Structure 1
Amino acid sequence: MGESECILLVFMAYDRFVAICNPLRYSLVMNRWTYIWMITVTWTVSCVTSSVDIFLVYRLTFCRSNIINHFICEIPSLLHLSCSDISVLNSLRLSGGVILLLLPFTVIIFSYFKIIIAIIRIQSGRYKAFSTCFSHLIVVTLYYGTAMVLYLRPRLSRADNTDKLISVFYTIITPLLNPLIYSLRNKEVLRAMRRLGRKL
């Protein structure tokens, strides 16, 4: 699910890129077949990479405690329980993290660079154009920031509480904040938040 979210965030950035940089071509570019293609790519890449992870973990030997020092059963937390040599697996996981985290994140940053240039050039409607992108940028920062800290740092010899805190943040807190973040553009939600702020 995490890998699919990484890819979906890239496609969302592309959608905003087309909407702001090529608004007259939006309905031509972003059509039903484009959406079907995006969903197919997302699920295919996620299923293939997850299957590779499962295959690699299945080949490991576990002779230590079967208690995972973590909230969820992620592969990094399973690796700490293995008696096998996990150096190759750690290298593969790091390269997979670069491909599935850094590459999509770089594409998102590049698309927002182009979007910002387009927003600067337009005469009117800058606020609306930027507010379209702001919520997505917050979600990208929260999700990719925590995921990169967890998956792209060197492996420690054992799991620690930092891994747990980071995992809770990107698996629970970020998805809980998503509806609130994406609804910040909704005027009724903003009015309700102002009323709540006045009462407090």
Structure 2
Amino acid sequence: MVYLLTVLGNLFIFGAVISDPHLHTPMYFFLSHLSFTDICLSTTTIPKMLVNILTKNQTITFTGCLSQNFFVLFFCAFENILLGVMAYDRYVAICSPLRYTVIMNPCFCGLLMLLSLLASLMLALLHSLMILHLSFCADLEIPQFFCELAQLFKIACSSTLINNILIYSVASIVVGVPLSGIIFSYTQIVSSVLRIPSSSGKVFSTCGSHLSVVSLFYGTAFGVYLSALCAPSSRQTAVASVMYIVVPQMLNPFIYSLRNKDIKVSLRKLFDKTPSL
């Protein structure tokens, strides 16, 4: 049910943005990519978990683990960067409204997406190639439905010092830079709103959904990090990690559909166009 809600909810948001010309703006262009990324990120883990439940085989092969890890890293990094790009879009729209269409032109938006994809791809490839350089002493079959880098490091025979340093170094950049950009953007937005109190209602309507998604994304990540420190078993850590790439992706469509008037109107039009079965 969670997977169906995630896929259908994000598909409706994606379809509404694509089908409604009024939503062909930078903000909804980024939102459609966020919805597509949420579908892909959930698909990297939930189908494998469902297969394990049906077959009663709670393991994953090394090849499957490496593939799953690559896509999880790629889509997590892309979503993280995308949230930062969306914050920058809101910053330009509110703090420089007269220059918004000039700054956030289609070419620049496409370039931002391309750079985000390339950065995410390089991150995922870097970690995957570093794992291939590790040596393992036993037949590789991990007793989990979800594979993490930490689980691979535990069964490796060679030193994982460089891998651990790489994880924390890259994570501090991939998470720290977008998060710093989000904090800076909303600091400037709040400052602008305080100077013009009459615009607070419009700002809330345009930024409320994004700010809710950001809070959910990083709040869940922080909760997973704390649970990983306190969890007594690797299985509990894996379950907590799955929640991080399941819960925000399922709730994002509901946040945007409930808090955004334009999305509500477009979804209503989309449902009206859909033939009843």
The residue that corresponds to 1:18 in the other structure is: 92
Q: Return closer, same or farther for 1:165/1:122 CA change in 2, 3 Å cut-off.
A: farther
Unaligned runs of 5+ in 1: 190-200
2:129 corresponds to which of 45, 52, 55: 55
Change (3 A) 1:151 1:66: farther
The residue that corresponds to 2:26 in the other structure is: none
Retained in 2: the 8 A contact 1:94–1:151? no
Match in the other structure for 2:166 = 92
Q: Cα deviation per residue 1:20-42 (whole Å; 9 max; x = unaligned)?
A: 11111111111111111111111
- Helix, strand or coil for the counterpart of 1:165? helix
For the structure 1 residues 67 and 151, does the alpha-carbon distance in structure 2 shift closer, same or farther, using more than 3 Å as the test?
farther
Q: Are 1:139 and 1:181, in contact at CA under 8 Å, matched by a contact in 2?
A: yes
* Conserved? CA contact 1:62–1:81, under 8 Å: yes
1:185 corresponds to: 259
Q: Which residue of 2 aligns with 1:36?
A: 110
- Which digits, 9 at most, give the CA deviation of each residue in 1:169-193, with x for residues without a partner? 221111011100111224596xxxx
2:47 aligned residue: none
Contact preservation (8 Å) 2:78, 2:117 = yes
- The 2-side partners of 1:132 and 1:2 are apart by 24
Which residue type is aligned with residue 142 of structure 2? I
2:209 match: 135
CA contact 2:84–2:181 (8 Å) conserved in 1:
yes
Matched position secondary structure for 1:85: coil
Q: What is the letter of the counterpart of residue 168 of structure 1? A: V
Q: Give the AA of the match of 1:39.
A: M
Aligned Cα RMSD in Å? Answer: 2.7
Report the Cα offset of residue 108 of structure 1: 0.7
Distance 1:99 1:82, change over 3 A: same
* 1:115 corresponding residue in structure 2: 189
* Structure 2 unaligned blocks of 5 or more: 1-74, 265-277
Q: Shift in Å at residue 69 of structure 1?
A: 4.4
The higher relative CO (CA closer than 8 Å, separation ≥ 6) is in 2
**Residues 168 and 83 of structure 1, relative CA distance in 2, 3 Å threshold:** same
2:220 counterpart of 1:146: yes
Return the alpha-carbon distance in structure 2 between the equivalents of residues 159 and 79 of structure 1. Answer: 15
Give identity over the alignment, percent. Answer: 39
Tell me how far apart the structure 1 counterparts of residues 159 and 260 of structure 2 sit (CA, whole Å). Answer: 52
Amino acid in the other structure paired with 1:5: E
Matched, 1:165 2:211: no
* Partner SS state of residue 197, structure 2: coil
User: 1:167 is matched by which residue type in structure 2?
Assistant: S
Structure-2 residue corresponding to 1:197: none
Amino acid at match of 1:57: I
2:180 aligns with: 106
**Structure 1 partner of 2:76:** 2
Paired residues in the alignment total 189
Matches for 1:43-82 after TM superposition, within 5 Å: 43-64=117-138, 66-82=140-156
Shift of 1:61: 1.1
TM-score for both structures, normalised by structure 1: 0.83
TM-score between the two structures when normalised by the length of structure 2 = 0.61
Greater CA drift, 78-87 or 180-189 = 180-189
Deviates more, 1:158-167 or 1:42-51: 158-167
